[in-house]
Amino acid sequence: MSLLLGLSALIAALVMIWRYRAQRRHERLRPGASTDTAIPIHDYSQIDASIDAQRCACGGGLTTLGEGPVASGAPIRFCRLECRECGRESTIYFDLGSMEKETLH
């Protein structure tokens, strides 16, 4: 009986680990999760609209903690976010490259 209970606990733990890793993998691949997947914008108002459309993994809305340019010199801006429900922090990246091209024309 204890062997069955132990095996059940092991399977439950493995399922939880698999779900956690799948969630992290999904978060890394979402648009804006890195400078490589930065969200292209044409206007600064699109940053606020994009943040308002985002949700935390828990389902909560996000608040902007701060923002600024990426240190690499690329036309990319980052925003630090915090979930209003669980307090989890994250970063989202925006590509300003197309916005700069439009101002030149």
Residues 15 and 48 in one domain: no
What are the CA-CA distances from residue 90 to residues 20, 22, 28, 36 (Å)? 16, 17, 11, 16
pTM exceeds cut of 0.75: no
Q: Which residue matches tokens 């459309």?
A: 53
Residues 3 and 22 in one domain: yes
Residues 9 and 24 in one domain: yes
Q: How confident is the model at residue 5 (pLDDT cuts 50, 70, 90)?
A: confident
Tokens of residue 89, six digits: 């922090």
Domain of 25 in residue numbering reads as: 1-30
Residues 26 and 36 in one domain: no
d(CA 23, CA 96): 28
For the segment 26-42, what is each residue's pLDDT rounded down to a tens digit?
A: 677 778 888 889 999 99
